């Protein structure tokens, strides 16, 4: 297997509206231009098709993350760069995914898109912060539900201080440094 055929899971964790998905799609385009096989496992799509029926309890969130981690590892083990822009609010859930990858010998990188909640609530891409503020929903990660930020991610991106292109470039640089791009 050549370097360009090496698969990997790149998990982008962070609060809602942090920029995870936007950065993932920007990186996906750059990787495809470089001849890499890439899939973006969007959290909203996964919830609709793979995790339909799950709620947002801690147990259901853990199950969702494990399902996504399984699919990502399967793709990565077969030479695909699996970009996973999924909140995954609990450290133990993310660690279980990392351990699965390690046990299979599959590359795994954790990227913390560390955007402050104040910035995310202004971006409010899906209107979740407004709904929470209006009392229409509860259990919003980082507001009235926990978010355990990674203590030692492979990369921390502060999307509020740089462009999407700069964020994707820093992630591509890490992949190159690790021999994955």
Q: Where do we find the tokens 């990858």?
A: 101
Asked whether residue 81 is marked as a ligand-binding residue, the answer is no
Q: Which residues contact 69 (CB under 8 A, 6 or more apart)?
A: 9, 84, 96, 97, 100, 101
Q: What confidence tens digit (pLDDT) does each residue in 37-85 have?
A: 999 999 888 888 888 889 889 999 999 999 999 999 999 999 999 999 9
Q: What confidence tens digit (pLDDT) does each residue in 115-151 have?
A: 999 999 999 989 999 999 999 998 899 998 999 999 9
DSSP string of 136-171? S----BTTTB-----SS-SEEE-GGGS-HHHHHHHH
How much is the pTM? 0.93
Q: Cα dist. 131→22, 126, 140 in Å?
A: 22, 9, 9
Confidence of residue 13 (pLDDT cuts 50, 70, 90): very high
Asked whether residue 131 is marked as a ligand-binding residue, the answer is no
Instruction: State both tokens at 9.
Output: 């899971």
Asked whether residue 69 is marked as a ligand-binding residue, the answer is no
Distance, first Cα to last Cα, the chain = 13
Asked whether residue 15 is marked as a ligand-binding residue, the answer is yes
Task: Give the CA count within 13 Å in the CB-facing half-sphere of 4.
Answer: 7
Residue 154 has pLDDT above 80, yes or no: yes
């Amino acid at each position: 297997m050549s370097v360009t055929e090496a698969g990997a899971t790149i998990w982008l964790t962070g609060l809602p509206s942090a920029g995870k998905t936007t950065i993932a799609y920007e990186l996906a385009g750059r990787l495809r231009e470089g001849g890499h096989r890439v899939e973006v496992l969007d959290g909203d799509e996964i919830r609709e098709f793979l995790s339909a029926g799950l709620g947002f309890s801690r147990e259901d969130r853990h199950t969702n993350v494990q399902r996504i981690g399984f699919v990502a590892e399967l793709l990565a083990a077969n030479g695909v760069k699996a970009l996973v822009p999924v909140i995954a609010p609990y450290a133990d859930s993310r660690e279980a995914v990392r351990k699965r990858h390690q046990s299979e010998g599959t590359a795994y990188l954790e990227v913390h898109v560390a955007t402050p909640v104040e910035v995310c609530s202004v971006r409010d891409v899906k209107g979740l912060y407004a709904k929470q503020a209006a009392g229409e929903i509860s259990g919003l990660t980082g507001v009235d539900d926990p978010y355990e930020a990674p203590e030692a991610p492979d990369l921390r991106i502060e999307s509020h201080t740089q462009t999407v292109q700069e964020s994707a470039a820093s992630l591509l640089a890490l992949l190159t440094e690790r021999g994955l791009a």
